[in-house]
Chain A
Amino acid sequence: MSEIGSISILLSFFISIYSLVFSIIGVKKRNRSFVKSAENGLIAIFLLLLFAGGSLIYELITLNFSIKYVALNTSTDLPLIYRISSLWAGQAGSLLLWSIILSGFTAVVVIQNRNKDRDFQPYVNATLAVISLFFLFLITYVENPFEKLDFIPNEGRGLNPILQNGYMAIHPLTLYIGYVGISIPFAFGMAALISGKLDDNWIRNSRKWALFAWTFLSVGLLLGARWAYLELGWGGYWAWDPVENAAFMPWLAGTAFLHSIMIQERKGMFKKWNIILLIITFFLTIFGTFLTRSGIVSSVHSFAQSDIGPLFLGFIAFILLFSFSIFTYRLKEFESKEKFDSLLSRESAFVFNNLLFLAAAFTVFLGTIFPILSEAITGNKILVGPPYFNKVNVPIGLVLILLMGVGPLISWRKASPNNLKKNFLIPAIFGIATGILLLILGIREFVAVATFSICAFVTSTIFIEFFRGVKVRSKRGENYLVAFSNLVSKNRRRYGGYIIHLGVVLIVIGITSSSVFLTQREVVLSKGDSFDLGRYTLVFEGVKTFSNDAKDGTVATLALFDGNKNLGNMTPEKNIYKYEGNREINQETEVALRSTIRDDLYLILSNSTDDGRASIRALLNPMVSWIWGGGIFILLGALVAMWPGVKFARFHSFIPEISGTRRKTS
């Protein structure tokens, strides 16, 4: 099987060169069959890479240790599901998966646009072929997942135990889809620059991809946070580690892009800016991969590292140089239609949205590469930790959330006092009332009071929007439910956006509560000891040891009481994996978690002695589950916004005619 895989990736590599060359020749010489042939090549790459992926999965499942990748990432005791997920546990497999996803998306783009924009689409294909080419080069010549060992080990190295977790199995996949998805709008943007067709068509045809990629990035980030929370056993979900930042930066820039393309569609402004944002976002996805894979910044996450760092740097340099030079070349051809009228307008809300998202991305970028910068400039390695990121990003985040309430409702061009009063009076009252109420309740943490007030403000703007829409429709005789569903389905992007905003509010509330109002205790317990944490009382019933094929475990049992009510047992564990294969880690802390909508009780068994004492770290993290709940809202909102509606289908059927007439006139 591995031969099929090797040949498939080698062929794909050459076909991507072919498709690149023939796309460009085809569009230059107006030779349709060349373009078509290049497109078929891109589809063939996808099929070939599916074969390659399939054969690697086959080798992983059957544990063919003669293949280096299999030997390094699996072992005989690994369950089937994690043998499959080993496909993205190591470097070479991750790069293969990356290529498969990219080629899959490329194939969809090719098929969707087969008869459209013949003088534009080949450039999209060519750009995607270049990106493919880079990754296929890596897996063919540098990090080949099918590389053979010259001996056959009896046993493989195994999969890191902390990666043997359901969230870890899907989190990288989700993030990759998000990362790779950004390539599609980037390719459309590049095609616009290369072809000189700088109208809004490229945005219209790629914005769903942008939203799609963004959704996967968001969900991927949250899954990663949840994995860290459940598996790493330190009680938190985000540590501003370079690897986390690597995924967060493209999300920030991508969020700015998603917002600012709306203003180009509606008002014809920000055309240059959108291209720049897109280049930055794509750069950050590649840079993020470089950061995690090259080991240039030290991270607690253990990633397989290798020599592909310089190649990535070269690719990044190529992307930036190429895209900015062609951008400069086209600079004079952009036409901006409208000008700003007023500071109090939706246009300016968008400006500040973009400014702040980009500033956040920049400050995260700066903090992440600070050790490299400072070493280069001063000779001393200086780093900035989580306090830096929090200090800088919390204020930026607060203003952004405020804008999230203002932006969607403030008038275009210039907001009149009447408009402001109509849209913001009630929400402002809600916001201020929330603040006062919290102060009366005795909460003195300024950040929390400010955040909750702003969240109340934003939430009420969103609810009022829904309420008004439903009221107007119900006056026309629709009952409330019908009115609601019609309201949303007639304007999916808008109301999908509101649902996403609501999800963001939930996440912000969760993050604020769990970081500001966290309580924790460290206790050393003998059998029968008890301690209180918040409303809970925990009674220690002793430690037990157990042993199975995979591990030696120590498990502490604590009976949990809320007042007098027995809520069952909590059993944090500390396990030592017998199998030495994956040397990076053989100890694993298994936390005990009781999650409610109000708070999470999180128990860590830190240590235990032979005479039956145990030291326990207990955390009460308020409202963490709101973060995951917010993630569900984001996913739901994105689905609403992306769902192909009636309008969309009609829009599509017009396309061939429109592009047909354009071709004749040009």
Chain B
Amino acid sequence: MKGKYKIIIAILVVVTGISYLVFAGVKDTFVYYLTIDELITKVPEVYNDKVRVSGTVVTGSIDNNIDRSLKFKITDGDAVVDVEYQGIVPDIFADDVEAVVEGTLNEQNIFKADLLLAKCPTKYEGEDQLKNPNGYQYKKEKG
């Protein structure tokens, strides 16, 4: 019986430790996931808070400089947010895709992102795209 109590105590210690890890892990690393609308209504208290925002990349807004600073705008169809980012750009990132950025909005209302993810815009395997009588066209040479 003595052994059993010891094990129960040891299990309690381990479980407490893990619970603490979860608590501390969540507390130190969580970020709010906001829509663009929520981001804008939270100005100015949102300044310098780490948040994650997603929106559609405004067509033609991507300015990808050789020194790796990437500027673009995201929108929810209504409001527009300017984003600046340095780092790895996912292959899927392009005009009109849904971009997810994590970082902070500064007082000039520019979103300084340190993480950029992109999601494909097509949610469903649509057959509409197949209805084009010529099927798919070869893409025009990109300039």
Contact = CB atoms under 8 A, between A and B. Distances in A.
Given A383-B31, A388-B26, A363 B18 contact: yes
B30 A388 contact: yes
A332 B32 CA distance: 47
Interface stretch (A51-59, A156-164, A282-290, A511-519): A156-164
A119 interface: no
Contacts of A380: 32-33
B67 A156 contact: no
B43 interface: no
Tell me whether chain B's interface is mostly helix, strand or loop, or mixed. mixed
A298 interface: yes
B18 A617 contact: no
B33 A149 contact: no
A646 interface: no
A317 B7 CA distance: 34
B25 A343 contact: no
B38 to A, nearest CB: 9
A146 B21 CA distance: 49
A313 B131 CA distance: 33
A391 interface: yes
A162 B120 CA distance: 13
A522 B22 CA distance: 34
Interface stretch (A27-35, A452-460, A603-611): A603-611
B91 interface: yes
Nearest to B24: A391
A72 interface: yes
B15 A613 contact: no
A424 to B, nearest CB: 18
Interface in A344-374: 345, 348, 351-352, 355-356, 359, 363, 366-367, 370-371
Given A155-B136, A359-B18, A586-B139, A391 B67 contact: no
A235 B90 CA distance: 12
Contacts of B117: 300
B90 A149 contact: no
Contacts of A367: 25
Nearest to B137: A580
A230 B14 CA distance: 38
Interface string B22-63: 101110111111100000000000000000101000000000
Interface in A133-176: 149, 151, 153-158, 162
B108 interface: no
A576 to B, nearest CB: 6
Interface residues of A, number: 83
Contacts of A339: 4
A587 B94 contact: yes
Interface string A567-596: 000000000111111011111110000000
A436 interface: no
A340 B24 contact: no
Contacts of A14: none
B50 to A, nearest CB: 10
Given A235-B88, A606-B89, A300 B119 contact: yes
Contacts of A392: 18, 21-22, 25
A370 B139 CA distance: 40
Contacts of A68: 127, 130
Contacts of B139: 576-580, 586
Contact of B134 (A154, A233, A608): A154
B24 A234 contact: no
B83 to A, nearest CB: 17
Interface string B3-20: 110110011001101100
A588 B130 CA distance: 23
A364 to B, nearest CB: 11
Contacts of A609: 66
A207 B55 CA distance: 48
Given A157-B130, A391-B21, A609-B66, A552 B10 contact: no
A585 B92 contact: yes
A75 interface: yes
B88 A234 contact: yes
A579 B52 CA distance: 33
Contact of B3 (A235, A414, A614, A617): A414
Given A576-B142, A617-B88, A351 B25 contact: no
A305 B124 contact: yes
A385 B130 contact: no
Given A298-B119, A342-B3, A359-B18, A382 B30 contact: yes
A351 B6 CA distance: 13
A597 B141 CA distance: 41
A387 B25 contact: yes
B130 A340 contact: no
Contacts of A617: 88
B118 interface: yes
A154 B29 contact: no
B68 to A, nearest CB: 5
Interface of B: 3-4, 6-7, 10-11, 14-15, 17-18, 21-22, 24-26, 28-34, 52, 54, 64-68, 88-92, 94, 100, 102, 115, 117-125, 127, 129-139, 141-142
Given A383-B30, A578-B139, 19 more contacts: A91-B125, A232-B91, A233-B88, A298-B54, A300-B90, A305-B123, A343-B7, A355-B11, A356-B18, A359-B18, A367-B25, A383-B31, A384-B30, A385-B31, A387-B28, A392-B21, A577-B139, A585-B91, A606-B88
30 contacts: A72-B125, A91-B125, A154-B134, A156-B130, A157-B130, A232-B90, A234-B88, A235-B88, A304-B124, A340-B4, A348-B7, A355-B11, A355-B14, A363-B21, A366-B22, A367-B25, A383-B33, A383-B52, A385-B31, A389-B25, A391-B24, A391-B25, A392-B18, A580-B138, A585-B92, A587-B92, A589-B91, A608-B66, A614-B66, A615-B66
Interface of A: 68, 71-72, 75, 90-91, 149, 151, 153-158, 162, 232-235, 295, 298-300, 302, 304-306, 339-343, 345, 348, 351-352, 355-356, 359, 363, 366-367, 370-371, 380-385, 387-389, 391-392, 395-396, 414, 522, 524, 552, 576-581, 583-589, 604, 606-609, 613-615, 617
Rank and list the top 7 A-B pairs by shortest CB-CB distance, nearest first: A155-B135, A154-B135, A584-B120, A381-B33, A302-B120, A387-B29, A391-B25
